[in-house]
Structures are given as C-alpha cells and as structure tokens.
C-alpha cells in the first residue's frame, strides 16, 4: 500500500543542507516527513514543481508593520500579505509601534492581533529600555518574542538608549541574542546641522560612517563586558565588516538588500524614497558589505521593511521620514544578484533560512529536513519580471525598485504545509502563528 501525505511537492530542485538536487517532499500535519523519490505515494494535494527550485521558507528578521498606532502606513495583515507575495514565510516585527512593545501586555496584544490574521508566521522583538532592563530576561522568553531589540540611535522616547550604562543594564539581564540599531546618537546630535534642507543626498553626510562604526565598537565592548550575545542590524559600512570579522564570538550581523543594491549615486534619481537609517552610502560601502557576504561575516538578510505613505515621503528633506518598503522585494532582488553571480543560491539560502535558524535558535524552522515545519519558498530562477508599484501588497503601495527588471522570481509560498501564495495570488486566508524558539519553549 502506498504511503499517503497531505501535500507532496514533486520534481522540484530542492536546495538545503545537502546542496541542490531533484527530490520530492512529503508533508503531513504541517511538517516535513519525507524527502526523496515519492513517485508511488498519494497525497491530498500534489504540486508539480518541475523547473522550479524549492527553498526553505525565507525568514525576514527585521520588519516594521506599524500596528498598533500607525495603521495608515501598514498593518499586520497588509505587511504579511506583502511578505508572502514575496515568498517570505516568517517575519520578526519591530517594537517601535504605539504603544511601544516593551511590556508583557503589549507583546500579548500583538500576538493576539496577528494570530490567524497574518498570512505568514511571526515573532515580535521586544524593546529594551532603562525602565524594563531588570525584566528583559523574562520578556524575551514570552510566547511570540523574537528577543530584545535596542536602539542606540535614531529613535525617540524610552526606546532610545544611547549611553553605555543603559545598554549594559539591559545586556546583563538577557540570555538570548539581542538585536541593535547601531548608530552613535551623540555624534548624530553633534552633526545634525550638516543635513541640507531639500537635499536627501546629505543624509549620509549627517549620519556618517563614523557614527555607525563608533557605535558598533562600543556595542561589542559592552557585549564582552556583560558576556552577552548581540546582533548588529542593517550593516551599512565597509569598516564595520572588517571590525565584526574579529568579534564573531559575541556578534552576528545582518545585511539588507538596499545596502547591497543601492548607493549614494541613487539619491539623484530616487530622492527621499531611499532615505533610510542607517543611510545608503557611497559605492565603496556597498562593495564592502558584499565582501562581508562573500567572507561569511554577514549572517542573515533582513529587509528593514519600514513603510511610509508617498505623501509623507514627498515632504522636503529632512522633514521626510526615513524608511522604505522591502519585505516583498527581498527575494527577487537577491535572486537577481544570484543570477548575476554575486552569491550562490546556497549562500542565499544560508542567509535567508539557515542563518536565522542558527543565530536565533528557531525551533523547527529554517531547514528542509524531516521533522521541520513545511515552510517553503518556491522560485523560478529563470523567470524575468519587472518590479512595479502595482504589485505591492503593502498598504504603502510603492517600492524604490519600481521599474527594475530582475531575473529570479518567487512563484509559491508554503507555510506549515499550506499553499498561501501561488503565482502572485493569495490562495489561503491568514493562518499565521507565533514562531517557536528553542531558548523559550513553552512549559
């Protein structure tokens, strides 16, 4: 009698820890249960993946979905719609909402809002502050918590912790890896007069590479002193790559597609649409980050999806807010880089799936292996498409890559054995659930 599955992905080129090879995948009860030749097996649903690559579900560990408090820009449903349209199966969302995600109650509220409403699975970063420093060890173990996130620059209110002692007070109490926005707030204040009204190209002059490097050096020193593990978000300078290469004992780091794709030369064409913190910088920094990818210094990719309305972005610099959309374009932009020879498909999988599994200790996610959640990003590596604003699932409705032609495209998103997106259409209602982490498993 033939074996029976809920879902079989047939004839695809599977990319996992074994490399690349044509294999079938059998799924039962939302988990992977068989990998190999399943030609004689039956299933409730069989998806022919001939000519397609089946990747472990892509994880975007840095997004801002703006709910609660800023739903005119984005909300959990629309942000997750953009995610699965782009092949992303899980996201870690940031704490700078209103109210801030700095308490057990605020985290529980987000988890409740997201469960079975978001289209992908999710976790929420909890903001580390002076006020909650003594309880971050409890907060980071709550259901749905991705860990502790701190802003050493570029934030307001209690989320900004710019001083060494404030950072150390939080890190002394963390047990999981804490994530950081690393720009030196003191230097940013000193240089605030260097931004030029109406000229977004002055953004990286004000928020210069020294501000990023100074803060990352301070952060690594504090991590050593407190014996804590840290994760440096959105690396934007070549100098940080060389420095962090020497400190992999305590520090992991992230690169974004925009810092790998855009440079300061693009301000003339795109203006405030590419105004980000930390900024898009001179080409040598983009090249330095690519060196970090090639040398294995960069551990993960994150989009830093941070939407604003076009009306808000149209305000004259510096009144214009920093942030751009990115969760939906992470996969196609990076697959285009794969096809251009900038990295291998296996390295992309390491950055987008295996890396998050490894450094954040995700339970049952980030690998195509028996016993893991059946999360898959199915891509056509030969497909040419032009990215456009009209494709946007985000409420913001725009992308800085509007009009960019890419080769390599996500055609299917499978979350825990359910086909959520296929050929640009949402085909299953939201069934998102909290990501589990091995360092914070429920009792």
* Residues identified as active-site: 304
Q: Is 240 exposed, middle or buried (0-12, 13-18, 19+ CB in 10 A)?
A: buried
Eight-class DSSP state of 342: S
Q: Tokens 């890896």 — which residue?
A: 177
**Residue 325 CA: distances (Å) to CA of 62, 78, 318, 376:** 12, 12, 19, 22
291 Cβ contact partners less than 8 Å away, ≥ 6 residues apart: 238, 241
Q: Under a CB-based contact definition with an 8 Å cutoff, are residues 396 and 66 in contact?
A: no
Q: Report d(CA 158, CA 145) in Å as an integer.
A: 19
| Strands of 77-177, DSSP E | 88-93, 121-127, 145-151
Tokens standing for residue 61: 């560990």
Exposed e or buried b for every residue in 76-103, given b needs 16+ CB within 10 A?
Answer: bbbbbbbbbbbbbbbbbbbbbbeebbbb
């Amino acid at each position: 009698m033939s074996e029976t599955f809920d879902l079989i992905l047939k004839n695809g080129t599977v990319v996992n820890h074994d490399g690349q090879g044509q294999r079938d995948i059998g799924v039962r009860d939302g988990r992977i249960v068989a990998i190999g030749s399943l030609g004689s097996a039956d299933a409730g649903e069989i998806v022919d993946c001939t000519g397609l690559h089946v990747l472990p579900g892509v994880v975007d560990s840095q997004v801002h979905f703006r709910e609660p408090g800023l739903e005119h820009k984005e909300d959990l449903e629309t942000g997750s719609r953009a995610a699965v349209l782009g092949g992303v199966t899980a996201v870690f969302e940031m704490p700078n909402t209103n109210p801030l995600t700095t308490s057990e109650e605020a985290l529980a509220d987000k988890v409740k809002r997201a469960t079975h409403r978001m289209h992908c699975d999710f976790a929420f970063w909890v903001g580390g502050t002076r006020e909650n420093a003594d309880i971050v060890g409890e907060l980071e173990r709550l259901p749905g918590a991705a860990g502790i996130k701190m802003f050493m620059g570029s934030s307001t209110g209690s989320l900004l912790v710019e001083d060494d002692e404030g950072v150390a007070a939080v890190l002394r109490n963390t047990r999981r890896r804490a994530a950081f926005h690393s720009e030196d707030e003191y230097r940013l204040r000193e240089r605030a007069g260097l931004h030029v009204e109406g000229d977004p190209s002055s953004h990286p002059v004000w928020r210069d590479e020294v501000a990023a490097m100074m803060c990352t050096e301070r952060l690594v020193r504090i991590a050593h002193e407190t014996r804590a593990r840290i994760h440096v978000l959105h690396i934007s300078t070549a100098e940080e790559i060389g420095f962090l290469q020497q400190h992999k004992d305590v520090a992991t780091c992230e690169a974004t597609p925009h810092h790998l794709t855009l440079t300061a030369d693009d301000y003339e064409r795109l203006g405030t649409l590419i105004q980000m913190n930390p900024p898009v910088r001179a080409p040598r920094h983009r090249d330095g980050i690519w060196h970090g990818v090639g040398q294995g210094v960069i551990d993960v990719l994150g989009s830093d999806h941070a939407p604003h309305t076009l009306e808000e972005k149209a305000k004259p610099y510096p009144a214009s807010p920093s942030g751009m959309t990115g969760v939906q374009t992470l996969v196609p932009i990076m697959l285009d880089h794969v096809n251009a020879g900038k990295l291998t498909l296996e390295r992309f999988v390491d950055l987008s799936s295996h890396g998050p599994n490894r450094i954040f200790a995700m339970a049952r996610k980030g690998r195509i292996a028996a016993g893991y959640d059946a999360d898959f990003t199915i891509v056509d590596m030969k497909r040419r498409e032009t990215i456009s604003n009209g494709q946007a699932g985000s409420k913001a409705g725009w992308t800085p890559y509007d009009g960019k032609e890419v080769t390599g495209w996500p055609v299917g998103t499978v979350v825990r054995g359910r086909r959520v997106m296929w050929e640009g259409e949402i085909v299953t209602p939201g069934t998102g659930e909290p990501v589990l982490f091995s360092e914070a498993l429920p009792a």
